[in-house]
Amino acid sequence: MTASRFIVIGRRFCGPPQSANGGYTCGMLAGAVGMALEVRLQKPPPLDRPLEVREDPNDARILLLDGEEPVASGKPVKPLDLIVPEAPSYAEALAAARNYEGFRVHAYPTCFVCGPQRTRGDGMRIFAAAIAGRELYAAPWLPDPSLTGADGKVLPEFMWAALDCPGFFATRMAARGPLLGQFAASIDRRVHVNEACVVIGWSMGSEGRKHYTGTAVFDDDGEPCARARATWIELKP
């Protein structure tokens, strides 16, 4: 990439009310350069204004800038070598979602991905909840037509977004509103509109205020088709 380019993240794609959903932002950055990235978010991504995608001349990083202020940086990565747990069935995920903690208390209730105040066709409504007897969170997901391209498949940035919030809940710190710090995703294939998918999240450990999670999307045949690794930062009191 030799020339700068710009992306704009619309208000529809918020996480917290005044900033973008982290997974969607990372997917947009990866899509802008056409390569797999591990993205580090450095500040809440702003909405509704041009953000410059620029190659750092000093190393292999890809920068996302608000003026000259860094929003995120990405480095090229190989496909993730991530052991993905077996997914529950769609029916099991649907039953678990009835106990979604976000229905009772949610740090970001208007989040594009997991906000219960968003309607179908507006938000993604991925409500990940604990699966009984397993160290696993899962959500049913029926992708709506607004998320798809001309081929009827979910666009890559929305696959990235789907892989975000189930990890947020898998930290078991969701009520405290941790923020996505680092994110890498691998998409083997994109799912179709109205396909009965399952999205899972699981904890991969913690170090102080840092929480590590894995996530994955499964198609309606129960086969994994995308996976991600995330670092979440618990905010100071």
> What φ, ψ does residue 96 adopt, rounded to 5°?
-65, -40
Domains and CATH numbers, the chain: 5-76 (3.10.129.10), 90-233 (3.10.129.10)
Q: What is the separation, in whole angstroms, between the first and last Cα of the chain? A: 41
Q: Please compute the mean of the pLDDT values over residues 92-108 and round it to a whole number.
A: 97
Is the pLDDT reported for residue 89 higher than 70? yes
Distance CA 51, CA 63 (A): 10
Please write the tens of the pLDDT for every residue from 44-60: 999 999 999 998 878 88
Distance CA 232, CA 183 (A): 9
- DSSP-assigned states of every residue in 126-148: ---EEPTTSS-EEEEE---GGGB
**In sequence order, what are the beta bridge partners of 203?**
213
Please write the tens of the pLDDT for every residue from 20-34: 999 999 999 999 999
Distance CA 56, CA 6 (A): 15
Is the pLDDT reported for residue 1 higher than 70? no
> What φ, ψ does residue 193 adopt, rounded to 5°?
-60, 140
Say which residues have a Cβ less than 8 Å from residue 235's Cβ, sequence separation at least 6: 176, 177, 178, 179, 209
Which residue blocks in 22-175 are alpha helix, DSSP H?
22-33, 90-97, 156-162, 165-170
pTM: 0.96
